[in-house]
Amino acid sequence: MQARISKSAALATLLALMAPAISQANDEAPGLAPAAFLPMSALPKSPALDVSSLKINKPAKLAEDDAFREKDVWGRIRSGYAIPDISNELVAKHVNWYAARPDYISRTTARASRYLFHVVTELEKRGMPTELALLPFIESAFNPQALSSANAAGMWQFVPGTGRDYNLKQDAFKDERRGVLASTDAALSYLQRLYDMFGDWQLALAAYNWGEGSVQKAIKRNQAAGKPTDFESLAELMPAETRNYVPKLQAVKNIIANPAQYGLNLPAIDNTPYFTAVDKTSDIDLTIAAHLAELSVDEFKALNPQFKRPVITGDDQTKILLPKANAAKFHLNLAQWGKDLSTWTTHKITRARESIGALASRFHTTPEVIRQANNIPRRSLLKAGSTILVPKISTSASIDISPEVERNATVAFEAERERTTSRSGYKLAKGGRAAKSGPVALVKARVPRNAVKGNHRKNHD
């Protein structure tokens, strides 16, 4: 009995001493309950009470320090798993699939090493489960250039409409659905909104893949039938892709939790930022930016995949991402750069169906250069109103592309048609050449040549 009294007294003294620190934690961590410790009456009555088992909320700064104590980012992800596990045949199937493909795991985790520190840090700031950092493993294999058949783009696979809902800019020069910072912020905001809607992370994930409206309908259907509405109970109502979605993430969670169990090795990812943001002060060619940072163009694009053209335009808020060491090199080399940073400007097409060849001659370049810079297919004609990139000439050497031009620029083209009517107004025989003999080969065109062109233009505009 004496032992019980002394332990209770010691615990009371300890909690009294901890009260100021706990109060400070509540002040620094918004959203915590007003009382962060238990009253004595609520404590378990046990002679062997272990004070270390009491969970005390830590100030945000201490939580951040704890994150940096992990040796690598994988450890941070494992320690923040918070979505309930599932275990079924689909999970086992996907675990086996991944485990049987070590080369695929190696390529995907190597790509992920550029982005994971940032994603995990953003998840921790929001208090979200850290296994959500593994979702791009399922969506895109951490390839920010990924594009699905449904036109979903980037590491987090946003379709155009949802991207616009979350303020991801999409224009002729950039697509922020691919950008590391913007798309991650949008994806986490979207996932948090879905969790707030359903109160369940597995259903939130299903909605991320299938759409919140579809999940809501499935829930109502099961409710009407008196059935449960958890993910596994709703799975039979889902399309195959969604039914497999959460099990795939669970499979990746299992592998990341214990890769050696599956005969796999994960690359070490230092628990430090991989990249830093650098301000852009004026238009700069993508190749020149990579050169100044002493990076390959491929590595530069891996960190800045949102830029669609060979020149990085935009206002002073546009930033580029560089590894920390290369950011220092970029600033040093930029200070010593004595040439133009951009070799491109824009040109608006005013004539109907202007040829690439004529433009190339006008701007002292080749048709192929203009096609590549503007993603124009071969044998295409530009339509009036299009705004395209062309090499700078002396009169525009110091002028940057304005934000208004960037926002409003469009490129429209149509297939170049083979001439099917001779200058004399006769149709040519099949194959585009007149027959060598015989009157059947030449048939007078039924409508004037200009009218044919006009009708064609009307049908394709």
Which residues are known catalytic residues?
A: 139
Do the beta carbons of residue 141 and residue 108 sit within 8 Å?
Answer: yes
Give me the helix-helix angle, 102-112 and 89-99, nearest 10°: 90
The span from the CA of 245 to the CA of 90, in Å, is: 10
HSE, CB side, 13 Å, CA atoms: give it for residue 82: 12
Do the beta carbons of residue 188 and residue 195 sit within 8 Å?
Answer: no
11 burial type by CB count under 10 A (0-12 exposed, 13-18 middle, 19+ buried): middle
Strands 387-391 and 426-427: unpaired
Do the beta carbons of residue 266 and residue 74 sit within 8 Å?
Answer: yes
Report how far apart, in Å, the C-alpha atoms of 63 and of each of 67, 80, 142 are: 6, 12, 27
Alpha helical stretches, state H, 29-115: 60-69, 73-79, 89-99, 102-112
Do the beta carbons of residue 154 and residue 294 sit within 8 Å?
Answer: no
The residue among 240, 237, 238 whose CA lies nearest residue 225 is 237
User: 3-class DSSP state for residue 284?
Assistant: strand
User: 3-class DSSP state for residue 272?
Assistant: coil
Do the beta carbons of residue 172 and residue 387 sit within 8 Å?
Answer: yes
Residue 217 token pair: 């309908």
DSSP 8-state secondary structure symbol assigned to residue 152: -
